[in-house]
Structure 1
């Protein structure tokens, strides 16, 4: 039986609000929330045409998702989860969809999570992974850096660190539902607080408390890369849903990056919640987001 798209969205949003957003408003132990999220992510279907191979990169557990042997471009994706959630398990199915849609190899890693590993452990870990990829002979021009939510924070901070360390820069940067301002000054945190089906302010506040040591300034550009000088970044794709509490993180980044002379491809998806791209098997706007992501990735491959 085919469900009306409007009813499918209403049912899905109510399910997410009940199973993910509402429990996140309580002070549950990190391991309990991690387990619940991994169980929920088992609902996402794997793309069977994609091969998954376990590997180690810079001492971290990692996976390679490969749609075909001839894939030349590599997407290095950093998963989200408010700095204390997320894993290879939560994002494997989504990234299999990305690999199939782009026909590119995707690498993702289990970077160290807070509160066990607060800032700067995660950023240092993904920087080590990038250096490891270069040491293996992979050219920077063949790498697209990607991240969702706090993973987009780490991806942007990594691109800025690559620039500052004067290493070869990646060919493109993809920021999906980015969480870039840990001072929580974006207005959309308030006006979209009842509309975002997946992400709550409480989850962000918990993640920040876990991730940022109390003696550090949350406006530090390595912690909140929105506040960094954004010059000399590669072309950037920004994807955001109209119902996201992080909507203004994305729009503020777009405005500031464009002022710094960065090529920005900003995409707003009507009626979509946080990390809606993971729901591409069921929703047209999420399918369109993957098509837009693939178009951007292929453009960098040809440049």
Structure 2
């Protein structure tokens, strides 16, 4: 039986607000929220057209997801979760869809989470992973940095650190529902507060409190890449939903990147909430976002 798309979206938004957003507004321990999130993500079907292999890079657990055909490009993916949530398990189904659609190899990193390991532990670990990939003979032109939410933050911060350390730069950035301003000055935090089905301001505030050392300024460019000099970043894809509380993070970053002569592809998806891309199996807008991501990645492969 085919379900009306509008009804399906309303039901899903109601479920997410009840199961994820509302509980996140209470001061629950990270372990409890992590467990609940992993259980919910079991609902997402994993794509059977790819192969998975566990591995370790720079001492971190990681997962290699490969298509059946030989891949020429590598996506280095950094999951979201407000710096204290998310894992290989929460994003595996979505990333398997990315690999099936792009026919590119993907490496997903289980990077250090706060509060156990606050800034700069995650960024330093990801920088070590990038160096190892280069040492293994993978060319920077064949690496795409990607991430959702705080993972997009870390992807930009990683690209900036690669630039500052004068290493070969990755071929592109793919930023999904990016969280880029930890000072929380984006207006959409207020006007989309009731509309975003997944993410609450309280979750962001908790993540910031866990991630940022008390001695550091939340506007530090390594913590809030929106305030960085973006000169020299590679071509960048930005995807965001119109109902996201982080909508303005994406829009402000687009404007600043373009001012720095970064080639930007900006995609806005009507009626979608934070990290809607993870719902590829259920919504046409999420399927379109996946197609847009694949198109962008293939364009990088041709350059």
TM-score normalised to structure 2 length: 1.00
Alignment of 1:118-137 (within 5 A): 118-137=118-137
SS at match of 2:107: strand
Alignment of 1:201-216 (within 5 A): 201-216=201-216
2:259 corresponds to: 259
Q: Return 181-190 or 65-74, whichever deviates more.
A: 65-74
Q: What's the C-alpha RMSD, in Å, of the aligned pairs?
A: 0.5
Structure 1 stretches (4+) deviating beyond 4 angstroms? none
Would you say how many aligned residue pairs link Structure 1 and Structure 2?
303
TM-score normalised to structure 1 length: 1.00
CA distance, structure 1, for counterparts of residue 257 and residue 74 of structure 2: 24
2:85 corresponds to: 85
Alignment of 1:1-303 (within 5 A): 1-303=1-303
CA distance, structure 1, for counterparts of residue 186 and residue 61 of structure 2: 34
CA distance, structure 2, for counterparts of residue 233 and residue 109 of structure 1: 22
Measured after TM superposition, the shift of residue 144 of structure 1 is 0.5
SS at match of 2:118: coil
Alpha carbons 2:60, 2:111 under 8 Å: kept = yes
CA distance, structure 1, for counterparts of residue 18 and residue 55 of structure 2: 36
Alignment deviations for residues 51-81 of structure 1 (CA, whole Å, 9 cap, x no partner) = 0000001100000000124111000000000
CA distance, structure 1, for counterparts of residue 61 and residue 22 of structure 2: 31
SS at match of 1:46: coil
Alpha carbons 2:69, 2:103 under 8 Å: kept = no
CA distance, structure 2, for counterparts of residue 39 and residue 128 of structure 1: 30
CA distance, structure 2, for counterparts of residue 125 and residue 86 of structure 1: 16
Measured after TM superposition, the shift of residue 2 of structure 1 is 1.1
SS at match of 1:186: coil
Unmatched runs of 5 consecutive residues or more in structure 2 = none
CA distance, structure 1, for counterparts of residue 46 and residue 210 of structure 2: 31
Alpha carbons 2:82, 2:204 under 8 Å: kept = yes
CA distance, structure 2, for counterparts of residue 278 and residue 153 of structure 1: 17
